[in-house]
Chains A and B, each alone.
Chain A
Amino acid sequence: MIQAGRPIPDDLVRVVDAAGLQYSLIDPSTTDWRHSLTADVGVLVFNPCWVETGYFNATEIWRRFLLQYSPESPLFIAGYQQTSDPNELDLLNLRNYDLEWWQSALSVQMLASKPEHRDSSLMYKLQRFFAGHGSDSVVAVLSRVRLVVQMAQRELQKMQTPYSEIYADLVAPAQLAQKWTEWRNRWVNYYPLFTFTPIAAELKSIAEATQQLDAWMLAGGRDEQPLADDEILTILNAVRAKLQDIEGQYVIQKLSYSHS
């Protein structure tokens, strides 16, 4: 059961217990729970979840996550919507969900994708975060920063150019502080939204990594030492790789699973 930023009805817990099932409450910013997913162990998410100042639908992101990691696992959706769809629980009518209902649930690969209301869809928000393939995309912004850092580091380490020259000719004109602010602006608007999604762990890791770069970037890259020590480029490479993984899995990739 994934935390959703809102109270979990005691009645749901009673129904799960009455069916003889076990459950545990998962914080998706951790990852160790992922290894326990099997055909007999599924994920229950609340729709909508409550994040910061609004209700959001995380269903489609969870569906894609399970299709990748554990397509045999069932995905359950619980909410206050009236529903008779497979794998969906109506929290106002929980008497209908006995053990047989849970056992006959469909695996996630048998569940069709449902259209989500754009303003509340976290999948849509994720697509907006990566939006603008080409010069405006978040990965492109980060790549521009990384390119400058990579070039500066190469000149420093391999050509042994004095950093004062590198800074004047390459780093200062690149306006790293402005570019980093552009990145941060987009990041702070989107990152908190994904607290209850399966990418929370990856985003937390990115947040922690990029925080280490803030001081250097916002100072415009004046300090030579972190560059010489390979610290900046190592972090940038790791962050970019994680973002590209997320983009590849959730935004770009057309999944080939068939649905009933």
Chain B
Amino acid sequence: MKNRVIIIIWSWRSRGHGEGVWTVINGRSVTGDEVICRDLPNSPNAIEELRLMVDTYRHAGAEIMLFLHRQHGYHQEHVQQLLTQTTDVNCFLFGEGADPLYLTNSPRGLLGTSGTFSAGINYDGQVLERTAVANEEEQQLRAANFNYVWELYEEALYQKLFELREDLFGLLSGQLPQIVFPEGKLYTILKEVNARPVLLRLLSLAGRIKKHSNLAQELRTFEQTAKRTLTFNTSFEQIEASYGHNAAASYTALVHFVAREVLSGKATVDILQLRVMFDELLGLVKTHTQ
């Protein structure tokens, strides 16, 4: 079995553990998995440096996941740039405390406060400590936390798509049994106030939200409230790298349908057809069953 490496570009130098390599321990056994902590702000050389790092671990036979902190200057274009230069890596943007990577959002997360792997959580007036550290002196992390983050982000696209699908149909439940919406009717429903989170995610899926725009900020606000990532930052390249060409083609088809039909003021939309497209893609990006 390949060992797994999570590379996290974050503020490790601020007050925390600093840059370095942490191993993962399960009971008393070192699993072979690692977390690489780098504090590497974006720069003209940063992508090349990241590519070299990924390639080094890939050539050593590892499976790799790379997390880029937005506040270090990384955006979706950097993810795409990296994915055109290297292969076999899952790459994610994170930041502003909204992601399940953070212990403040998930008890099995990895990242705590100020460049550490620990955080204090307020629960019913008491402060509960959450930590991913097994042994600080030995720089060892708990397998439960590493495994949780790895499996969750492996499933990230599936979860976002599944939740959007359920939220959209839940929103339309008041219209049932109507399943065919004449010209622009569906888009009118999506523009209602209570539909805002669904509309924003559909716009994100369709690639209609520009970086740093008011819509992007509004979606980030929803993410902070929801404590998870709702933005669709995934590119064709990333899906093809992670799930194969059929999944990438299915994703493209769904994106086009959403952009040209669902978000159109003129199109007639059959939500059974939309469901088929969602379900085909979900089937292709699903990895685990019990």
Q: Which residue of chain B lies nearest to A123 when distances are taken between CB atoms in the complex?
A: B290
Identify which of B69-77, B168-176, B203-211 touches chain A: B168-176
Assess whether A25 is interfacial by the CB under 8 Å rule. Answer: no
Pick from B152, B169, B176, B276 the residue with the most CB of A within 10 Å. B176
Q: Are B166 and A184 closer than 8 Å at their CB atoms?
A: no
CB distance from B32 to the nearest CB of A (A): 21
Q: Are A9 and B290 closer than 8 Å at their CB atoms?
A: no
B residues in contact with A117, CB < 8 Å: 286, 288-290
If A55-B166, A91-B169 touch, whether A116 touches B289 (CB-CB below 8 Å) is yes
Partner of A189, one of B107, B162, B275: B107
Chain B interfacial residues counted at CB < 8 A: 33
Partner of A80, one of B123, B165, B177: B165
Q: Which residue of chain B lies nearest to A124 when distances are taken between CB atoms in the complex?
A: B290
* Interface band, chain A: 20 to 34
CA distance A6 to B163 in the complex (A): 12
Q: Are A188 and B128 closer than 8 Å at their CB atoms?
A: yes
Assess whether A144 is interfacial by the CB under 8 Å rule. Answer: no
CB distance from A92 to the nearest CB of B (A): 6
Assess whether B227 is interfacial by the CB under 8 Å rule. Answer: yes
Assess whether B271 is interfacial by the CB under 8 Å rule. Answer: yes
Residues in A208-252 with C-beta less than 8 Å from chain B: 214, 218
B residues in contact with A188, CB < 8 Å: 123, 128
If A92-B271, A188-B123 touch, whether A119 touches B288 (CB-CB below 8 Å) is yes
CB distance from B207 to the nearest CB of A (A): 25
Partner of A121, one of B123, B170, B290: B290
If A53-B226, A117-B289, A185-B128 touch, whether A91 touches B107 (CB-CB below 8 Å) is no
Q: Which residue of chain B lies nearest to A117 when distances are taken between CB atoms in the complex?
A: B289
Assess whether A173 is interfacial by the CB under 8 Å rule. Answer: no
Assess whether A118 is interfacial by the CB under 8 Å rule. Answer: yes
Q: Are A119 and B155 closer than 8 Å at their CB atoms?
A: yes
B residues in contact with A116, CB < 8 Å: 289-290
Assess whether A11 is interfacial by the CB under 8 Å rule. Answer: yes
CA distance A11 to B178 in the complex (A): 10
Q: Are A95 and B290 closer than 8 Å at their CB atoms?
A: no
B residues in contact with A80, CB < 8 Å: 165-166, 169-170, 275
Q: Are B159 and A119 closer than 8 Å at their CB atoms?
A: yes
Assess whether A48 is interfacial by the CB under 8 Å rule. Answer: yes
Residues in B231-265 with C-beta less than 8 Å from chain A: none
B residues in contact with A189, CB < 8 Å: 107
A residues in contact with B126, CB < 8 Å: 184, 214, 218
Assess whether A181 is interfacial by the CB under 8 Å rule. Answer: yes
Assess whether B179 is interfacial by the CB under 8 Å rule. Answer: yes
Give 5 A-B pairs besides A94-B176, A117-B289 with Cβ atoms closer than 8 angstroms. A82-B276, A116-B289, A117-B286, A119-B159, A185-B128
Q: List 22 A-B contacts (CB under 8 A).
A: A6-B170, A7-B173, A9-B176, A11-B176, A11-B177, A53-B226, A55-B163, A81-B279, A82-B276, A92-B169, A92-B275, A115-B290, A116-B289, A117-B286, A117-B288, A117-B290, A118-B288, A119-B155, A119-B159, A181-B128, A185-B128, A185-B129
Q: Which residues of B are interface residues toward A (Cβ below 8 A)?
A: 107, 123, 126, 128-130, 151-152, 155, 159, 162-163, 165-166, 169-170, 173-174, 176-177, 179, 226-228, 271-272, 275-276, 279, 286, 288-290
Q: Which residues of A are interface residues toward B (Cβ below 8 A)?
A: 6-11, 48, 53-55, 80-82, 91-95, 115-121, 123-124, 181, 184-185, 188-189, 214, 218
